[in-house]
Amino acid sequence: MLYRRQTLRTPHGPLETPVLFPVRNIGKRSSDNTPRYVDRIPEFNTAMVNARSIRERGSQWERIREGVSLREEMDVPESTIVFADSGGFDFKTESVDTTPEKTLQTQEVIDADIYGTVDVPLSRENRSAQNDCYVRENVDRAIEASEVHDGEALLFASLHGYDPEKIRNGIQYLETHGDFDGYALGSLVPIRTDYKKVISLILSARRSTDKHLHVYGLGGLVYQPLLLYLGVDSFDSTAFIRSAGKRNYLLPGFGGEELGNIEEMEYLPCSCPICGSQRLDQIREERDLLTRHNLWALAVELRKFRYMAEAEEDIEGYLELRFRGNEVTARAFEIAKQQIRRLT
């Protein structure tokens, strides 16, 4: 097992890892579906935001430039630790309308603790040559960002590649030619069902550096235990929002269930502050309550793994039990276990 606990020093204070960065939709039209969670779920004093979306939201951007803090806009404490990615996912459908320097300036204005470099995600539909071009361009943009970055915020190079060797070579090149506090591995969401490939890419990154390793977009219930087992330090997720939008109820150890399939119960089985005090019919009616429960479910998944590790329990036995109800995820864990044992 490669699981590890560390402390990440940020401008807004120390952050104990591994940790989840819930994605905040601030700057998007759907920003109102991210409920308040900082200071209500103790370990989630974190937020992932899209720097480009904030910059493109005219009135909001003007307020921030005039002195209103991003944390005020999000209605969170000033101690909240913010990871601002470049908004690279937007570039799947739009042209790159920023530069590394412009993005750094945006991240600085919103007072982010962690900057993600400008990146264009890969696609399974692209030709290999096109993806290879994106890989090189993303590395070049990261180097350019490193050359102009001089603040206290941490700089994570956003890294992509569908070949473990490309990931390894990319990190080695970035280590030689740039100065980064960590690496953020992207383009995994489109291939998330190909567990063997995803695992090999993450392990290639983990083997290539001892610095902080973030994985974009895979922090849901299914992937979270695997990421922890593989030594990932942080991850982000929109699963709690997306699932609530589909009226899907997340439960650690079991995955999700549509509320429409649950009819006879008066109270749901979770003991989080939402389910412990609200009836099923209330949660069914208010998406905000379901969103808040789903985020608690992600917190509990993380707590369970941490407890097993701190108690020095059999993590592999726990994960075998955790995944045995699903043939696909059970096989994914076996693949991860075999690859890690070859490394250690």
Same domain, residue pair 175 and 300: no
Same domain, residue pair 226 and 253: no
Among 205, 237, 269, which residue terminates a domain? Answer: 237
Rounded distance, CA 159 to CA 121, Å?
A: 9
Other CB atoms within 10 Å distance of the CB of residue 304: 16
Same domain, residue pair 320 and 233: no
Q: 7 near 15, Cβ under 8 Å?
A: yes
Same domain, residue pair 130 and 254: no
Same domain, residue pair 172 and 53: yes
Same domain, residue pair 166 and 265: no
Least confident stretch, 49-53, 88-92, 209-213: 88-92
State pLDDT tens for residues 144-187. Answer: 999 999 989 999 999 999 999 999 999 999 999 999 999 999 99
Same domain, residue pair 303 and 165: no
Rounded distance, CA 170 to CA 147, Å?
A: 17
State pLDDT tens for residues 56-80. Answer: 888 889 999 999 999 999 889 999 9
76: CATH: 3.20.20.105
Same domain, residue pair 151 and 300: no
Does 227 have pLDDT greater than 70? Answer: yes
Using DSSP's 3-state secondary structure scheme, residue 156 falls into strand
In-domain check, residue 1: no
In-domain check, residue 242: no
Question: Which range marks the domain in which residue 327 is found?
Answer: 247-343
Q: What is the pLDDT of residue 32?
A: 46
Among 201, 217, 237, which residue terminates a domain? Answer: 237
Same domain, residue pair 119 and 157: yes
Q: How far is CA 210 from the centre of its chain?
A: 19
Q: 214 near 159, Cβ under 8 Å?
A: no
Same domain, residue pair 215 and 301: no
Confidence of residue 31 (pLDDT cuts 50, 70, 90): very low
- How many domains would you assign to the chain? 2
Both tokens of 160, joined, read 């992509």
Does 33 have pLDDT greater than 80? Answer: no
State pLDDT tens for residues 281-305. Answer: 999 999 999 999 999 999 999 999 9
Does 135 have pLDDT greater than 60? Answer: yes
Same domain, residue pair 255 and 228: no
Helix, strand and coil percent figures for the chain, each rounded to 5? 45, 15, 35
Q: What is the pLDDT of residue 1?
A: 86
Same domain, residue pair 68 and 148: yes
Highest mean pLDDT among 108-117, 118-127, 235-244: 108-117
